[in-house]
Structure 1
Amino acid sequence: MFQFHVAPSGDDSWPGSAERPFATLDRARAAAREAGGDAVVHLKGGVHTLARPLELTGADSGITFQAYGYGTPEQEEPVISGGRVITGWQERDGVWVAEVGELDSRQLYVDGRRAERAALPGLPGEVRVTATGYVTGGGEPLGWRSPADVEFVFRGVYPWTEARCGVAGVSGDGDETVITMAQPAFGWAGELYNSTWEGQSSSGPGLPTRIENDAAFLAEPGTFVLDRSRPGRHVLMYLPRPGEHPSRTRVVAPVLERLVSVAGARDVSFRGLVFAEATWLRPSAAEGFLHYHGTGYYEGGGVETAVIGEGASVTYPAASVTIPACVTFDATENVAIEGCRFTRLGASGLGVTGGAGLAVRRCAFDTLSGAGVEVSGSRATSIEDNRVHHVGLEFSGAPGISVSGTRDCVVAHNEVAHVPHCGIVVGSGQGARILRNLVADTMEVLADGGGVYLSGPQGDSPDNQALVQGNVIKDTHTPYNFGLYTDYGASWVTVEGNVVLRADNTAVLVVGPPLENVVYRGNFWDQDPLGHDNPPSGVTYGGNVTYKDERELNAATAGIQSEAGPRR
């Protein structure tokens, strides 16, 4: 097997040896191809800044990219970055200001910490909604310095949604201020968000719950603004926190939208690497981000209506698009991702579509705008012993781990914590195994979801049904949630030997469309699920135990709780 080395201080004209390493991953990939693909590329510690995404194809089958010294006490930490270090700061009235040319980004990281975009809690004064935006009696929007960079956030249009729409312009009209919203986003929002509940109907996104990204909003230390009002002469502004100084503070703006793309390759491995500093610019466009559920969003094409009870309905996308990932694998076979970290990314961390035999083991996913891991249409994928926390920081519907349309997928021994909506999501598929995960502090922002959430058919017989077993789910926040949630026509599911505590509701047995061939047995809770006293015909409910006293519950389930979460 051939061995190649890459270091930030290397040179692509060198032979790629340990003593004379390459400088770039592209050069190492080319050398591995020339060697026939059976090669290991060792990455020395430090920041490996990409000029463009690393793309692997079937021609790169058999390559391993790993940290130098992987698996030894001397293992180094290579960071694969799509970011740009910001320099040339000037201080103006306590604000750091830098001209950054054509740079466009939605995130900023200061000494590794995620900086928030400067924001207001909402529109001032009396506001009314119009067909094209808003009219307010307050003149404050007229003081916005770059209105076309301002973005409105709409949290909770539906309890499980959070949309984003840009502003097109602001103008004065007598004593009123007219805010014109960007199209087609605002029009799409009017199409998508229509509901009826308890005799009350609503249409459109309503009033914004947060307004982001204008220099006039810079009041909280540690926040930033990107002003793009002058094409090619964008200005980045950052209000420092106490103790920060331009000469000793490292500020990075992510530039690339994707770091690594692997398509059609076999037997590829990534070990001990850090993937960091990428963005996703689509929500900043005129199309905005019309979120519906999870990582799905609407971009036109019409809506349909779901009746969710007598006199209750919501419209939803006839078709939706998924938030992309910054590291993607498509139609691959026998791929291993081990001991890696996905952090400081402006979309989801890891996205897998199609293929078979991909394993994600002992990785960390944190500080992500989107989901941690998203798998769609794959066979025999395993996601085990990973830690996923503080994800969905910008797109609050994003779950920790999501699998959909998969066959024989295993999600086991993971720890998922501090997520804004669902912890683990399982869409329609066959034979999913959700085993011995520790899921805590979910549903921290949006409502109507669960620590572990399943929807749709999960098989068509006992031979390929889903099994949800040995999971510990605790501290599910916000109202109207279910720690363990089988929803929307879930069928062929066995829910067995799980522990649920400190949720708004532990589980629910009566949903629409109804559950079919769903078994709840041997579970432990601190309250009875909704519908337990009269289970519907499609649910078998028995042998479950409710402990009102948490100490008794913990004592009775000590064995289950000790087995849940990563095995290290």
Structure 2
Amino acid sequence: MKRTIRPRITLLSCLLTLFLSSNSFAKDFYISSKGNDKNPGSKEKPFATFKRAQMALRSAKGAVTVYVRGGTYYLSAPVIFTALDSRQAKETVTYKSYPGEQVKVSGAQLLQLKWESGKGGIKSAKVAPDISFDQLFVNGKQQRMARYPNYNPDIRFFGGAAADAISPERVKGWAHPEGGFVHALHKHEWGGYQYLISGKDADGKLKLEGGFQNNRQMGMHDKYRYVENVFEELDTLGEWYFNKREKMLYFYPRKGTDLSKARVEVPQLKSLFEFRGTAEQPVKNIRIEGMELSHTLRTFMETKEPLLRSDWTIYRGGAVVMEGAEQVVVKECFFNTVGGNAVFMSNYNRNNLVSGCHIAFAGASGVCFVGDPKAVRSPSFEYGQFVPLKDIDRKPGPQTNNYPSDCTVENTLMYGLGSVEKQVAGVEISMSMDIKVSHNTIYDVPRAGINVSEGTWGGHLIEYNDVYNTVLESGDHGAFNSWGRDRYWHPDYQVMAGIAKDNPALITADVIKPIVIHDNRFRCDHGWDIDLDDGSSNYKIYNNVCLNGGLKLREGFFRTVENNVILNNSFHPHVWFDNSEDVFRHNIVTRNYFPIRVNDWGKEVDANLFPDQQALEAAQKTGTDAHSAYGDPVFVNAAVGDYRVKPGSPALKLGFKNFPMNEFGVKSPALKALVTPVKLPVLISEMKTEGQDSYDFLGAKVKNLNTLGERSATGMSTETGVLILEVPKKSILYGKLQPNDVILKFNDTMVKDMKDLKTVEMGLQLSQKGTVEVFRNQSMKKIEIPLK
């Protein structure tokens, strides 16, 4: 028997060995910056480029890992995956950095320049004629285009803005401004605008092209604007200017920079990896892992496409682009100062994943999910547009499948986004369905952290995110923001009220699935923590912590808000329709409600906990909260952000249920270590009337005036009011209030201490300006201040 079996085993082993050694079967490949594309792609003889590995993989079967060895890979063109690169479910291809080695994929060209010295420490160098010049990186750090006013990170808008940025007097001093740019906020601070300077007219006025980056056209702000890439404004360290006519680069290096040894990189590409398929022939089962992606071009002059009737226009691109993709994964990648969007999923996408990534200082948004307007029934594309009711398609849902669905962004850290564009978000969702946004940490953004542009088509799950330091360079917005200008929505309130009453099925014809927002922590100091604007409908909002800005519901229908903790603020119902079916129950609020034009309070507003009897009675006078109560919620430990309530809390008796307070944001220990934590609020109820504790008020540092020394220094006759200690340039009070001012009245409300001031502040979002009365230089002074 043994003699018969052994030859068979040997023969099978040989055949198996031969099969495994075949080039068509699965094996790992390797790429190295020191490799050669003529090599077989083995560890010992690696390829040199992604393109060569891509070609080899098209004939390789089975699951394959392409290990990318440490180094910087300068792409001359984006790596584009098509249906030819698709893999079966169990034959995924993974491009990943080799363990323990750092891989950088760059869209820049590395320049070797011969520098010459000029006046005032400015250096110059001739540049090859085929080089695009949009950004400059020296030794890995981004430098700033010559600009006016000069950049100052302590100033809130743009790091410096000026009303005279394009004044005739300043323009007169510019010999050749063509090629420069004007950046400005929207007139109402709803995002921003950008313009290319094409020259000067006969009167010396700038010729501008652009201004299409916002879908609510009202023109640029008359104060918050700046100009860049003008030679005459090259006047401070770290600035540069590129003369396109002469192909000459001018640079004002910082002290200690040895340009003869410096690494000079100039971005040339808009994207690095693209997945280009269709719904019929998608590109599938490819993963990009563990790489640093950097040096892509700014794309603000291509941000033109309106996203239906939202305030947005968009550029369908990013460092990574997916269109017609399935089961594509971007994992643990570092998007380092990319010029536009980091990840963009356009049109048909299914089951794609962004996970464990780090997105820092992107020029535009973090992760965007945007479908095809042709998939929308009866679309309109500008705020004032509306398809006549008789012409509206009545069928619910999309009319094609050309949109992102069942895609996820999770465990991703995003901050410093919108460094160029201002109508941006950490996560942007438009014309999509069933998008999951989970366990992300998003902060330091000019507008929303998470934005849903319209109801089409719902089903999104927004959970366990930590979103703060939002709306830093805009106004009238939220840490979470949404619009609901769907096919039923009309800009005329009375017209829309009639449409909703007579055609209730249209309300959810686009938002066919509820959007769920649960177990998140939000903070916005220049708007609302949760802002459901203009018709946003079909939401379920529960188990969220709102740290500062409160929760707003405007217009819309079918919103259920329950079991949320709203700190130092409250519920802001704005402009409700009759029979909205809205529900607000089992919430903890710490101020009275702030209703505007609400006659019908929906289906149920009850069983909520108020801070005091006065706030409760104010609500009950409007016909709500018959079974609500007031009192101290008895938080477990508010000082460390634990807003669960202790046994015996009156909130529990009303039906409030505790939920975890330690699951917000990224889960990865490596990402957690990079996070700048949220600033927790000092609760109004815990503010001290004595002592030296300082507080934040609209970005200024203040304290209760409560010592004899402070009374003497200010000239006050009594120890009362709130003393201004410091007004940083980022504060909206900068230039209005001064250190040593004492606030005594705000919007006709007397201010005895910080509790009074903080109470007044909660209602400031209802208007755009306010009046402060301060004691300054031994006399009272009335000052009008902005409130956003």
TM bucket (normalised to shorter chain) is 0.7 to 0.9
Q: What is the TM-score normalised by the length of structure 1?
A: 0.81
* Structure 2 residue 264 is matched with structure 1 residue 221: no
Q: Which of 501, 507, 514 matches 1:465?
A: 514
In 2 relative to 1, CA 444–79 (structure 1 residues): closer, same or farther, beyond 3 Å? Answer: same
Displacement of 1:562 after TM fit? 0.6
SS of 1:563's partner is coil
Q: Which of 474, 478, 481 matches 1:446?
A: 474
Unaligned runs of 5+ in 1: 128-133, 195-202, 291-295, 299-303, 307-315
Displacement of 1:531 after TM fit? 2.7
Displacement of 1:459 after TM fit? 5.9
Preserved contact between residue 142 and residue 172 of structure 1 (Cα < 8 Å): no
Displacement of 1:205 after TM fit? 6.3
- Mean Cα deviation higher: 532-541 or 394-403: 532-541
In 2 relative to 1, CA 423–124 (structure 1 residues): closer, same or farther, beyond 3 Å? Answer: closer
The residue number in structure 2 matching 1:498 is 544
In 2 relative to 1, CA 66–110 (structure 1 residues): closer, same or farther, beyond 3 Å? Answer: same
In 2 relative to 1, CA 430–56 (structure 1 residues): closer, same or farther, beyond 3 Å? Answer: same
In 2 relative to 1, CA 397–24 (structure 1 residues): closer, same or farther, beyond 3 Å? Answer: same
In 2 relative to 1, CA 336–289 (structure 1 residues): closer, same or farther, beyond 3 Å? Answer: closer
The residue number in structure 2 matching 1:67 is 96
In 2 relative to 1, CA 145–245 (structure 1 residues): closer, same or farther, beyond 3 Å? Answer: farther
SS of 1:278's partner is coil
Q: 1:314-358 CA deviation, whole Å, 9 max, x = no partner?
A: xx88x9543521210111111121111112211101011222111
Unaligned runs of 5+ in 2: 1-25, 150-160, 277-281, 371-402, 487-506, 592-631, 646-658, 669-788
The residue number in structure 2 matching 1:542 is 585
Displacement of 1:486 after TM fit? 1.1
Preserved contact between residue 109 and residue 344 of structure 1 (Cα < 8 Å): no
* CA distance in structure 1 between the aligned counterparts of 2:316 and 2:233, rounded to whole angstroms: 28
Q: Aligned runs of 1:368-383 on 2, under 5 Å?
A: 368-376=362-370, 377-383=403-409
Preserved contact between residue 192 and residue 204 of structure 1 (Cα < 8 Å): no
Preserved contact between residue 458 and residue 511 of structure 2 (Cα < 8 Å): no
* CA distance in structure 1 between the aligned counterparts of 2:353 and 2:213, rounded to whole angstroms: 38
Q: Which of 491, 513, 521 matches 2:562?
A: 521
In 2 relative to 1, CA 191–378 (structure 1 residues): closer, same or farther, beyond 3 Å? Answer: closer
Displacement of 1:379 after TM fit? 1.4
* CA distance in structure 2 between the aligned counterparts of 1:369 and 1:271, rounded to whole angstroms: 22
Larger fraction in strand? 1
SS of 2:661's partner is helix
AA aligned opposite 1:546? V
AA aligned opposite 2:217? Y
Q: Aligned runs of 1:386-397 on 2, under 5 Å?
A: 386-397=412-423
* CA distance in structure 2 between the aligned counterparts of 1:482 and 1:217, rounded to whole angstroms: 38
In 2 relative to 1, CA 536–455 (structure 1 residues): closer, same or farther, beyond 3 Å? Answer: same
Q: Aligned runs of 1:251-270 on 2, under 5 Å?
A: 251-263=264-276, 264-270=282-288
Preserved contact between residue 571 and residue 589 of structure 2 (Cα < 8 Å): no
Q: Which of 494, 507, 517 matches 2:551?
A: 507
| Structure of higher RCO (CA pairs closer than 8 Å, 6+ residues apart) | 1
Q: 1:128-181 CA deviation, whole Å, 9 max, x = no partner?
A: xxxxxx872x2x4233243102211221323212111122223675xxxx2231
Preserved contact between residue 57 and residue 262 of structure 1 (Cα < 8 Å): yes
AA aligned opposite 1:240? P
* CA distance in structure 2 between the aligned counterparts of 1:519 and 1:191, rounded to whole angstroms: 29
AA aligned opposite 1:470? D
SS of 1:59's partner is helix
* CA distance in structure 1 between the aligned counterparts of 2:534 and 2:132, rounded to whole angstroms: 40
Preserved contact between residue 43 and residue 65 of structure 1 (Cα < 8 Å): no
* CA distance in structure 2 between the aligned counterparts of 1:448 and 1:39, rounded to whole angstroms: 49
* CA distance in structure 1 between the aligned counterparts of 2:462 and 2:214, rounded to whole angstroms: 37
AA aligned opposite 1:25? F
Q: 1:500-548 CA deviation, whole Å, 9 max, x = no partner?
A: 1133xx1112x2xx11000111110111121399997422111110247
In 2 relative to 1, CA 170–207 (structure 1 residues): closer, same or farther, beyond 3 Å? Answer: farther
* CA distance in structure 2 between the aligned counterparts of 1:432 and 1:190, rounded to whole angstroms: 25
SS of 1:220's partner is coil
The residue number in structure 2 matching 1:311 is none
AA aligned opposite 1:92? G
Q: Which of 41, 53, 62 matches 1:16?
A: 41
The residue number in structure 2 matching 1:120 is 148
Q: Aligned runs of 1:15-414 on 2, under 5 Å?
A: 15-36=40-61, 38-62=63-87, 64-69=93-98, 74-88=99-113, 89-93=115-119, 94-100=121-127, 101-121=129-149, 136=168, 138=169, 140-170=170-200, 178-183=204-209, 185=210, 193-194=217-218, 206=222, 209-228=225-244, 230=245, 233-263=246-276, 264-280=282-298, 283=301, 320-322=313-315, 324-353=317-346, 354-376=348-370, 377-414=403-440
Displacement of 1:68 after TM fit? 3.7
AA aligned opposite 2:517? V
Q: 1:185-225 CA deviation, whole Å, 9 max, x = no partner?
A: 36x6999634xxxxxxxx67657710111121112212222
Larger fraction in helix? 2
Preserved contact between residue 299 and residue 340 of structure 2 (Cα < 8 Å): no
The residue number in structure 1 matching 2:525 is 477
SS of 1:423's partner is strand
Displacement of 1:48 after TM fit? 0.8
Preserved contact between residue 446 and residue 473 of structure 2 (Cα < 8 Å): yes
* CA distance in structure 2 between the aligned counterparts of 1:39 and 1:532, rounded to whole angstroms: 55
The residue number in structure 2 matching 1:293 is none
Displacement of 1:461 after TM fit? 11
Q: Which of 439, 442, 463 matches 1:435?
A: 463
* CA distance in structure 2 between the aligned counterparts of 1:324 and 1:557, rounded to whole angstroms: 42
Preserved contact between residue 41 and residue 64 of structure 1 (Cα < 8 Å): yes
Q: 1:377-406 CA deviation, whole Å, 9 max, x = no partner?
A: 211111111111111100011111112222
SS of 1:226's partner is strand
In 2 relative to 1, CA 425–44 (structure 1 residues): closer, same or farther, beyond 3 Å? Answer: same
Identity %: 21
* Structure 2 residue 535 is matched with structure 1 residue 489: yes
The residue number in structure 2 matching 1:567 is 667
Displacement of 1:489 after TM fit? 1.0
Preserved contact between residue 493 and residue 517 of structure 1 (Cα < 8 Å): yes
